[in-house]
Amino acid sequence: MRFGLVLCLIATLSLIAAAAGCIDSGSEKNVLIVGNHLMSDARELDQGTGTGTLITEKIIITETLVATGEDFSLKPNLAESWKMINDTTWEFKLREDVKFHNGDEMTAADVKFSIENINTKQPGRTTLIDYRDSEIVDKYTIRIRTNTMNPLLPAALHSPDTAIISPKSYDANGEYVTTIGTGPMKLASFNEQTGEIVVVRHDQWWGGTPTIEKIINRGYPNPNTRAMIIENHDVDMTFDPPYSEVARLDAIEGIDVLKFNTPRTYKLDLNFDHAPLDDLNVRKALAYAIDRQGIVDNVLYGVGSVATGPFLPTMAWANTSLVPYTYNQTLAKQYLADAGWTDTNGDGYVDKDGKKLSFKLLTYTERPGLVPMLEAISSNLKDIGIEVEEIAMETGAISPMLAEGDWDMYLIAANLAMVPDPEYVLKTWYTTDGTTNRGHYSNTEVDRIVAEGHNLITPKERYAHFRTAEGIVYDEVATINVAYYGVAIIMWDNVQGFTYDPTAHDYRLSPFMTVA
C-alpha cells in the first residue's frame, strides 16, 4: 500500500512538472535553459530570410567572415584577412580549419553560396555590400566584386545576415531544410508550435571545444513573464525584465544581474514635414527639455546611460567632442519663445497665432524601456508648455501611421552596429534619401560629406571624416538622442563563464559557459 502511494506521488509530481513546462535533463551536464526575448517561427532559422541575429548571436550556430573588437574596429573571423585588389574588387583569405556541423570543410564555394543566397532572397539586407558577383580564386580564397567602389564591404560582412552556411541547408529544389553553420553550437531541434530551439555542442568548432553541452532556447516576449520565469528558476538565464524589477531580482539570493550598454540608442525621430519641427529653435527646446539623467536613473533604473551623439563613446569613430544637451527648462522655454511660442492665455501651454503647440508621440511596446520613457518625455515636454498625445502600440499597429506620416515624434531603440562603420548610420538615418530617414531631415552638406566619405579606404581617414557629419546632425538636432540602450542579463549563480560581447545586438551567448 505504501509502495502504491509512493508510485502515485511520483506520477503526480511528474505530471505537475510536465504541466509547468519543466525539462528533465536527466544525466546531461552543462545544459543551459534560456528565456529569450525573441520569438521565432520556422522561417526565422533560415539565413536566407534575413534573421541572422537570432541564429548568429542568440543560438550561435552561424558565424560571419568579419568580427569586431570591443571598440567595434574590424578583426578576422572566418576570414583571416582581406584586401582591396582594385576599386571594385576585394579579396578574402579564409581560415583553413573550419568545419560545418555536418563535418564538411568550409570553402570559398560555400562563402559564394551564402552571400548570393541572402542577396537573392533579401536584397534589401545586402544594399551596403553593393554585390555584383564573386570569383573563387582557390579553395580558401574568394574575390567579391561590387558595382561601385565600396570600402564599406568588410564592415558589411560583419552583419549577422551575411553569416556563412552550407548549401546543404537546402534540398535539391532549393527548399530550406535546416541551418548548417560553422558556429560553436549546432541545431538539434526546433518546435514550430512552441518556438523552442535546442542546440548542441559542435565538437569540431575551429574556436575550441565548447564547454556548454546543450542550450534550450525558449521565447518569452513579455518582460513580466521573463521576470517570473527567472525568479521561479524555470530558466537559468534571461534578459530584460521590466527595469523596475531589476533591483528586486538582484536582491534574491542565488540570482545575479549584470547590466551593460549595447549598440543601440533610444532616440526620437522628428517629422520635419510637420511644422514647427522644421524650426531649429523648437528642436533645441525639445532637446533641452528632456531630463536624460532622470530617465536613466528613474525610468530605466540604471539599465543604460545618457546619450550625446548617436554613437556610443566606445565606438572607434564616435565624435567625443560633442557638448551634451543638458536638462534645462529655462533654456528650453527661451528657445520656444525665440520661435514665437509663449503662453498667452495662462493655460500652461504655449501657443502661437491662436494655436496650441501639440505633438503626437509614438512608440512600440516590445521593448521594456520604451513605454515608461514615452511617459517621462511627455511629462518633461508638458513642463515647458507642450501638449503631447501619447500612443504606444505593437510595431505592426504603428507601422501604418509611420508610413502615412501620421506622427510628429517617434521613440525607437535603434541599432547602431549591424554594420560597424559610421557610414551605415549616418547614411541611412541622416542623408536626404536615407532608407531609415523617416523624418525627412535634409542637409546638402551632410549629403556631400557622407558621399565623399564613402570613397575613403583606411579606417583612420573614414572615422575622422565622418565625425564632421556627426557634429552637424547633432548641432541641428536631426534626431534627439536620449539614452544609450542597456541590457539587463539575469542568471542564476549556477551559470558560470558568461562573457559579454559589447558589439552584439543586445547580447551574444558564450560557448564556454558551464551550468552546475
CB < 8 Å & 24+ apart, contacts of 424-427: 424/128, 424/152, 424/155, 424/156, 425/310, 425/311, 426/450, 426/466, 426/469, 426/470, 426/473, 427/454
CATH code for residues 28-60+172-258+504-515 = 3.40.190.10
- Rg value, the chain, Cα: 25
Residue 431 to residue 426: CA distance in whole angstroms: 7
> Do β-strands 131-138 and 141-146 pair in parallel, antiparallel, or remain unpaired?
antiparallel
Per-residue model confidence (pLDDT) at position 41: 47
Per-residue model confidence (pLDDT) at position 22: 43
Per-residue model confidence (pLDDT) at position 12: 37
Distance (Å) of CA 388 to CA 238, 245, 265, 436? 34, 28, 22, 24
Per-residue model confidence (pLDDT) at position 473: 98
- Residue 363: strand pairing partners: 392
Per-residue model confidence (pLDDT) at position 472: 98
What SS3 state is found at 389? strand
Set of cell numbers at residue 443: 542637409
What SS3 state is found at 414? strand
- Burial label for 36, CB within 10 Å (0-12, 13-18, 19+), is buried
Structural contact between residues 143 and 175, judged by C-beta atoms closer than 8 angstroms = no
DSSP class of residue 170 equals B
Set of cell numbers at residue 412: 525607437
Q: Do domains 28-60+172-258+504-515 and 261-486 have the same CATH topology?
A: no
Set of cell numbers at residue 306: 545618457
Nearest CA to 288 among 332, 338, 323, 349? 332
For residue 97, what is the enclosing H or E element? none
Per-residue model confidence (pLDDT) at position 122: 81
How many residues would you count in the chain?
A: 516
Angle at 72 between CA 69 and CA 75, to 5 degrees: 45
Task: Name, in order, each residue with C-beta under 8 angstroms of 458's C-beta and a sequence gap of 6 or more.
Answer: none
> Do β-strands 358-364 and 409-415 pair in parallel, antiparallel, or remain unpaired?
parallel
Per-residue model confidence (pLDDT) at position 47: 84
- The distance from CA 124 to its chain's CA centroid, rounded to whole angstroms, is 17
Using one digit for the tens of pLDDT, what is the confidence trace for 268-308? 999 999 999 999 999 999 999 999 999 999 999 999 999 99
Using one digit for the tens of pLDDT, what is the confidence trace for 320-335? 999 999 999 999 999 9
Q: What is the mean pLDDT of the chain?
A: 91
Structural contact between residues 55 and 299, judged by C-beta atoms closer than 8 angstroms = no
Structural contact between residues 235 and 252, judged by C-beta atoms closer than 8 angstroms = no
CATH class of the domain at 66-168: alpha beta
Per-residue model confidence (pLDDT) at position 40: 47
Residue 290 to residue 283: CA distance in whole angstroms: 11
Report the CATH architecture of 261-486. Answer: Roll (3.10)
3-state secondary structure 307-343: CCCCCCCCCCCCCCCCCCCCCCHHHHHHHHHHCCCEC
Nearest CA to 357 among 282, 411, 441? 282
Ranges of each domain in the chain: 28-60+172-258+504-515, 66-168, 261-486
Residue 214 to residue 216: CA distance in whole angstroms: 7
Per-residue model confidence (pLDDT) at position 267: 98
Q: Which stretches in the chain have pLDDT values below 50?
A: 1-26, 40-42
Alpha-helical runs (H) found in 429-492: 444-453, 459-475
Per-residue model confidence (pLDDT) at position 507: 87
Tell whether the torsion through CA atoms of 390, 395, 397 and 403 is positive or negative: positive
